[in-house]
Chain A
Amino acid sequence: MGNEQEDKEMEMGSIVVEKVGGRSSVVHCFSRYPVKFIIPKKVGSSRTDAVWVYALNYGGGIVSGDQILCKFSVGDCCTMVLTTQGSTKVYKSVGSKCSKQLLEARVGSNALLAIIPDPVTCFSTARYYQKQVFNVSSNSNLVIVDWITSGRHESGEKWDFDLYRSINNIFLEDGEPLFLDTMSLEKEKIGCIHELVQDYQVIAMILLLGPKLQFVQNLVQDKVKGIMSEQLQHPSGALSHKRNEAGYFISKPSLMASCSVFGTKIAVILNLDGTAMISNYNIILWASSRVEIIELALSSCLLRTIVF
């Protein structure tokens, strides 16, 4: 009971997408301060059937103590894309307050929900908690990009926040858990976060679920395997001061990526750690006869579009 009350207070936005006249349409849209939704009419090709939603926070970021809940429902056979206009800045924590951003989404049968925001950037001492819960059918499709940068470089902040916790949970119709992932970076508990992440400045997770994304999944797996196999080299024996013959220090790969299959072989997760804020790696993927192009450019604040 108490939870319902809390939910009502925290609910800052909700959108329902259903088929109207054969096309994915927003049949319900609600938002209140500090959340605002922008739903442009003309995004991408007119052939494609997708609703694009840009979520903005007034003030350009998440302020200490903000508690935001947004709910989305994507009806059967519909497509919805949720993205942002810029990186989500989490400002410094005041009085040790933690900011929370919650997302609950229901994805119908044969529907597609793509959550492709810009990365989160936590300022020094920020405390941020994010939880995304998805309820899906057995043939739902889901693209989730969840990523974080190390902070404001120009101010010299690298992994200088106090808490970042990101939860992504996916449940099937019967409530069975399909995917339960929590990443927690907490200064108090693990000490120097920088040590755990070393020189990498970006941590990203990309999740691809569903039959519509099969082709993309295969491409991602092959691409990552190709990139990483090249980067990994045969070790030269016992530990020593690692210099090669020319006397140069052997460096670590600038991109560390691994791709896992989970569930009953219908989903793929891509974990990435990149050193450069502006990375040179583009993963360009082609999928299906409808010419779906997913181009993920891992640069500081840029996430390219999904075009259907």
Chain B
Amino acid sequence: MQISEGCDNGPRLADSIAQWSQWQLLDSLLPTGGFAHSFGLEAAVQSNLVSNPDELKTFIIHVLENTGSLLLPFVHLASVSPKLETWHNLDKILDATLTNEVSRKASISQGSALMRVGSAVFSELPSLKAMRNASLGSGTISFHHAPIFGLICGTLGLDSTDSQRAYMYITMRDVISAATRLNLIGPLGAAVLQHQLAPNAEAILEKWKNRDVDDACQVAPLLDTVQGCHGYLFSRLFSS
């Protein structure tokens, strides 16, 4: 069905259709491979840093806090300027900023998958596919997750705050999903926890939103170290 400017319902229909795309972007059904990453939770469990529900809750809050302080600037800037040059610049800076090898590889893996899926699924936005093809050829772009997520959000018509909120949402979604797969919490408990943590996530968003990449920082050094330990786990379910 074509959405033409001559149509009476033009803008409203476009908005409604856009919402379907936005919801699809946040749906865990989208095959972006987010389920392969535990954000350091698996390592935290194996080193006894997380061994009860309270510690799990605290851990998730720390992940959200660090996501806010370190990654939201990249989502923010990509979403307000969803252009090739902006994306490439942010990708380069994030590659130097993600000093933790495990996190860096996870970001590249998720970002590549998201860009591949996004350009195939949201085919009415040819710019995504074009940008992807241009970047694959260059060999210098790492395809980090946060800038690509911001880029797609911006292209889909989400404003910057919503884009950043969406990034917090999928981060929380993925850590909690990892918690259920690690048998730390059951599916219903996970859903309850996710709802309980929404106000925390929103407060964290308010604190860290709309910042410049120069201000990107780590606020949870222990979390960063634990995430880096994932490679030392003898048996593991997740890749990070």
The chain A residues found within 8 Å of chain B, CB to CB, are: 165, 176-186, 189-190, 195-198, 200, 203, 224-225, 228-229, 231-235, 237-242, 250-253, 256-262, 269, 271-273
Contact = CB atoms under 8 A, between A and B. Distances in A.
Interface in B207-235: 207, 216-229, 231-235
Given A228-B229, A234-B235, A262-B99, A183 B218 contact: yes
B196 interface: no
Contacts of A229: 232, 234
B101 A179 contact: no
Given A232-B233, A271-B224, A271-B228, A196 B219 contact: yes
Contact of A198 (B49, B182, B234): B49
Interface of B: 43, 45-53, 56, 58, 62, 65, 69, 92-93, 96-97, 99-102, 104, 182-185, 207, 216-229, 231-235
A102 to B, nearest CB: 15
Contacts of B58: 195
A196 B219 CA distance: 8
A232 B97 CA distance: 27
A49 B205 CA distance: 52
Contact of B229 (A178, A232, A241, A242): A232
Given A184-B219, A239-B185, A271-B224, A260 B102 contact: yes
With most chain A CB atoms within 10 A of its CB, the pick from B51, B58, B229 is B229
A177 B233 contact: no
A189 to B, nearest CB: 6
With most chain B CB atoms within 10 A of its CB, the pick from A178, A203, A257, A258 is A258
Contact of B53 (A181, A186, A200, A239): A239
Nearest to B53: A239
Contacts of A195: 58
A241 B58 CA distance: 16
A262 B45 CA distance: 26
Nearest to A229: B232
A269 B104 CA distance: 13
Nearest to A200: B222
Given A177-B92, A237-B183, A271-B224, 10 more contacts: A176-B92, A186-B219, A224-B232, A225-B231, A228-B232, A242-B52, A251-B48, A253-B47, A256-B229, A262-B99
Contacts of A185: 219, 221
Contacts of B222: 196-198, 200, 203, 256, 273
A202 to B, nearest CB: 11
Given A229-B234, A232-B233, A258-B100, A239 B219 contact: no
Contacts of B56: 239
Contacts of B65: 190, 196
Contact of A259 (B183, B228, B235): B228
Nearest to A271: B225
Contacts of A241: 52
A165 B217 contact: yes
B43 A232 contact: yes
A262 B229 contact: no
22 contacts: A177-B96, A179-B99, A180-B97, A180-B216, A181-B99, A183-B218, A183-B219, A184-B69, A184-B218, A184-B219, A234-B234, A235-B45, A235-B46, A239-B50, A239-B53, A241-B52, A250-B51, A259-B228, A260-B102, A262-B99, A262-B104, A272-B225
A242 B50 CA distance: 10
B48 A242 contact: yes
Nearest to A228: B232
With most chain A CB atoms within 10 A of its CB, the pick from B52, B223, B225 is B225
Contacts of B47: 231-232, 252-253, 256
Contacts of B224: 258, 271
A203 B221 contact: yes
A185 B69 CA distance: 11
B176 to A, nearest CB: 14
A12 B218 CA distance: 29
Given A183-B217, A239-B52, A260 B184 contact: no
A115 B97 CA distance: 21
A204 to B, nearest CB: 9
Given A182-B218, A189-B219, A257 B225 contact: yes
With most chain A CB atoms within 10 A of its CB, the pick from B58, B226, B228 is B228
A242 B226 contact: no
Nearest to B225: A271
B221 A239 contact: no
Given A256-B226, A256-B229, A262-B99, A233 B218 contact: no
